[in-house]
Amino acid sequence: MASNIKRRRYTAGAFLTSETVMMKMYGVGRHTVRSAIGEMRGMGLVESLQGRGTRTNHARARRSCLETGGA
């Protein structure tokens, strides 16, 4: 999912699918989904808004990609 955000497959400010949908999509538990979102938040790729969900943060995603030498 992080690579899709870096490659801008999500529009700026787009909300990610729900944790339940991600659990089914990737065949993992809630803890794994929350850990992944936490890592992406730490990288500056997403931001979580209480009661609204998690959305992409392209300004930081681009910076992160440049710092790591990604596309």
pLDDT of residue 20: 95
Q: What is the mean pLDDT of the chain?
A: 82
pLDDT-above-70 percentage for the chain: 80
Is the pLDDT higher at 10 or at 42?
42
Domains in the chain, CATH or no CATH each? 2-68 (1.10.10.10)
**In contact, 2 and 43? CB cutoff 8 Å:** yes
Structure tokens at 13: 């400010």
pLDDT tens-digit map of 39-65: 999 999 999 999 999 999 866 544 444
Does 25 score more than 80 pLDDT? yes
Is the pLDDT higher at 6 or at 14?
14
